[in-house]
Structure 1
Amino acid sequence: HTFDMMKASVIFVLILQLVGCVYSLVSRKNIRDDNEFNLVGRFALSAQNTYQATWPYSGVKFNIEGQNTTSRVYVSFGSCTADCEYFVEAHVDCSPVQKFEVNATSTSIVLDLATSVGQSYEIQFRKLTESSNGNAKGVIEFGEIFLEGATLIPLKKAATLQNQNHNCLHRHKLLVIGDSITAAYGVDAANPCQFSAATENEEHSYAVLVAQQVQAELHVVAWSGKGVVRNYGDVNPTSTEPMPTYYNRTLATSPFTSDPAGGNYWSPSAFPADIVLVMLGTNDYSTQPTPSDEQFISGLVDLLHRIGADYPQAKGHVAAMCAPMQTGRQCANIATAAQQAGVNYVFIDPDVFTGGYGCDGHPNAQTQQLMANIVTPAVKTMLNE
């Protein structure tokens, strides 16, 4: 694996040298340089000294200063397995500008920018797809970044630039825990359609839209098919590994080590969220046999209590939400659990589906927006804003 990455880097540098007649290579940086890069989301440091992540919307951000009227940003990712496929969105000044596919045969991307000499820009690359679902799978691994026509700005200096773009201003930290709805499963396609990695896009999820409206830095912990106590299609009323099993994992697809204080454990103090939203329950009730009321309510109350203990700064700003894909006593039991746990309850009316469907009956982008239109004022009420 280490040899493959070294070989890829050598080839990448040769490519850059070949295009040197148009651009001059300004800098080549490993993302381990904490003086110039910020990681967003849950990341682990690999044995190859690269940063890895699996959860949706994980990524890296940094600031550059233009030295030319055109600039290029090259990102070299770690090698993918044969069936690896995920998508990444590039952001410039906190607005999405281009979507890229990363797979086993394409592990580098190039972002071309129109820049002004001396002007600063915030650049982000965000993972759009979830940890593992169908062909949407793979660990995003940031290795090196190459710049042409621009230089990196150290974090201390970047902090003084005060980018006034609304989406760049963060006054809160928001953690959203959910299933396929939160992961934006099938959001970029029109029903009827078959899910694929290309149809999933966290950028169009209610979670991102709400975060933008309340000016919150966002962490997303979402995985299709997971429930509070029962996962989709399980032959039993409860599952051995529902979503609470993954709640505090750094990498979703890697289990904890024998020491929960190390290994793959995600410490809540690393991202002290002051707002936490939980949208689970659809999978618990989507197929038979469903859990009993007591099983579901106690499972959700336990999770909400864990959240309260992990994020004391979010007291009063935690909500259990009933998604618009509803069956049986799903919403009633979520409301009961919220009351017992002392958190807020948010009901999302199925009428939001007037916006339309994506794949397999999931919300499309317009429906996700209508969901955000309900969740955003609820969050602002919790915050007294």
Structure 2
Amino acid sequence: MISLNSLVSVLAVLETARAVRFLGRVNPATKELTWPGTGVSFTFSGTSASIGLAAVTGNNSAELIIDGGEPTVISNVAGITISTPAGLAAGNHTVVFRKNSEALFGSIFVGDITTDGTLGPDVPPSNRKIEVIGDSITVGYGIGGLLPCVNTAALEDVSKTYSVLAANSLKADYSIVAWSGRGIIRNYVQATPDTSPTAPQLYTRYGANDADGSYTFPSSWTPEAVVINLGTNDFSYLGSAPNGSTVALRPRLDAAAYTAAMVKFVQSIEVHYPNATFFLLTSPMLNDGYPSTEDAQHTTQTNALEAAVTQLNNGTKAYLVDWPAQGSEVGCDYHPTPATNAAEAKVLASAISAALGW
């Protein structure tokens, strides 16, 4: 027989589950925030609330937003709770907590949500949904610094990236699956070849640290727009020799193979999202002058993605969205600055709006 106290506890857990919404791709079995931009959202009536941290691994930056105001940036998440600021007036409040850094640095396990008042129904999700798949550009690598600088979790800030800014301007919910250094065929060039999973493999995971194939594609998340920004790492092939000289560590990327891989990846996603429209982005970190004018990497990538769009449009709605080569002001390791991201956010938002009528 179930005791009254046990029944009350079970009902309390169920009520909390209904009141709290996970943001982005979060495995409900682990409640682990791994991917950039993942988090929780809830409302409460009272003067204070706390998000329990069941565990924290590595280093993580995050932000806390109360009632839609300016975010409070947490450069290093630590301790056992994240609490709302003191002095909130008694009444109804909305809380959003999101991880700003990528899984490479660490993860956050969400515990119990508590309040001095009562939890209310969460703000309803948007009927507009965007999924974004990418690499270091998409995670906001080094966006908080200016070259020269060394990237850290504290310098990553996905909230300032092109995709989040575009989604916010369109009043759309978003989910980001991105990891620095990953490509669609091959990862960033290294003296010892990187055999870690490529982006298409990572995409099949629920949490970034979960097993391949663990993502269940829940019906609650069916995006109308899928944005893919992959290729920067695939195009890399130069590195340093032991004597310090620059040498080719692997062959140049086969553009036709890149096109074929993009088509295959889009089609594999389309199986789960048959009504989605796809937006394939060029890279601002590729330009036609480096490594050489013969490489013409930005133009080569553009042409390869145009070929992918042509092949896909036999049955798939796909668009090319160009992100021009960036200027001389760059973040850590030549990554895009907040200004460069903001400029591309407008371009992406316009493309999505035009295609979907948003």
Shorter-normalised TM range:
0.7 to 0.9
Report the 3-state secondary structure (helix = DSSP H, G, I; strand = E; otherwise coil) of the residue aligned with 2:354: helix
Answer yes or no: is the 8 Å Cα contact 1:179–1:227 preserved in 2. yes
Pair 303,239 (structure 1): closer, same or farther in 2 beyond 3 Å: farther
Matching of residues 20-39 of structure 1 within 5 Å: 33-39=16-22
For 1:274, which of 224, 231, 253 is the aligned residue? 224
Amino acid at match of 1:57: G
Tell whether 2:282 aligns with 1:322: yes
For 2:148, which of 173, 192, 214 is the aligned residue? 192
Answer yes or no: is the 8 Å Cα contact 1:171–1:215 preserved in 2. no
Matching of residues 1-385 of structure 1 within 5 Å: 33-46=16-29, 51-66=31-46, 71-81=47-57, 84-102=58-76, 106-118=79-91, 120-132=92-104, 136-137=105-106, 139-148=107-116, 150-155=117-122, 170-234=126-190, 241-256=197-212, 260=213, 264-267=214-217, 269-288=219-238, 289=250, 290-314=252-276, 317-327=277-287, 328=297, 329-342=300-313, 343-351=318-326, 353=327, 356-385=329-358
- Residues 107-152 of structure 1: CA distance to partner in whole angstroms, max 9, x if unpaired? 432221543333x2211100101111xxx22x2211012323x431
- Residues 321-364 of structure 1: CA distance to partner in whole angstroms, max 9, x if unpaired? 1021115222221221122122100111125x36x311111011
How many residue pairs align between the two structures?
A: 320
Report the 3-state secondary structure (helix = DSSP H, G, I; strand = E; otherwise coil) of the residue aligned with 1:304: helix
Moved more, 304-313 or 193-202: 304-313
In the alignment, the residues of structure 2 paired with residue 231 and residue 286 of structure 1 have an alpha-carbon distance, to the nearest angstrom, of 9
Pair 326,113 (structure 1): closer, same or farther in 2 beyond 3 Å: same
- Residues 158-188 of structure 1: CA distance to partner in whole angstroms, max 9, x if unpaired? 55xxxxxxxxx83400001110001000111
**How far apart are 1:270 and its partner, in Å?**
3.9
**5+ residue gaps in structure 1?**
1-28, 160-168
In the alignment, the residues of structure 1 paired with residue 222 and residue 138 of structure 2 have an alpha-carbon distance, to the nearest angstrom, of 20
**How far apart are 1:36 and its partner, in Å?**
1.2
In the alignment, the residues of structure 1 paired with residue 18 and residue 270 of structure 2 have an alpha-carbon distance, to the nearest angstrom, of 33
Report the 3-state secondary structure (helix = DSSP H, G, I; strand = E; otherwise coil) of the residue aligned with 1:80: strand
Answer yes or no: is the 8 Å Cα contact 1:31–1:142 preserved in 2. no
In the alignment, the residues of structure 2 paired with residue 174 and residue 202 of structure 1 have an alpha-carbon distance, to the nearest angstrom, of 15
Moved more, 300-309 or 276-285: 300-309
Report the 3-state secondary structure (helix = DSSP H, G, I; strand = E; otherwise coil) of the residue aligned with 2:302: helix
In the alignment, the residues of structure 2 paired with residue 129 and residue 181 of structure 1 have an alpha-carbon distance, to the nearest angstrom, of 12
In the alignment, the residues of structure 1 paired with residue 215 and residue 182 of structure 2 have an alpha-carbon distance, to the nearest angstrom, of 19
**How far apart are 1:370 and its partner, in Å?**
1.0
RMSD: 2.4
In the alignment, the residues of structure 2 paired with residue 365 and residue 31 of structure 1 have an alpha-carbon distance, to the nearest angstrom, of 40
**How far apart are 1:366 and its partner, in Å?**
1.3
- Residues 191-249 of structure 1: CA distance to partner in whole angstroms, max 9, x if unpaired? 21111111001111111100011111010111100111010015699966210011121
In the alignment, the residues of structure 2 paired with residue 108 and residue 345 of structure 1 have an alpha-carbon distance, to the nearest angstrom, of 43
**How far apart are 1:269 and its partner, in Å?**
3.0
Q: Percent identity?
A: 28
Pair 293,32 (structure 1): closer, same or farther in 2 beyond 3 Å: farther
Pair 335,234 (structure 1): closer, same or farther in 2 beyond 3 Å: farther
Amino acid at match of 2:63: E
- Residues 298-320 of structure 1: CA distance to partner in whole angstroms, max 9, x if unpaired? 11110111122221121xx2111
Q: How high is the TM-score relative to the length of structure 2?
A: 0.82
In the alignment, the residues of structure 1 paired with residue 62 and residue 194 of structure 2 have an alpha-carbon distance, to the nearest angstrom, of 34
Answer yes or no: is the 8 Å Cα contact 1:30–1:145 preserved in 2. no
Report the 3-state secondary structure (helix = DSSP H, G, I; strand = E; otherwise coil) of the residue aligned with 1:207: helix
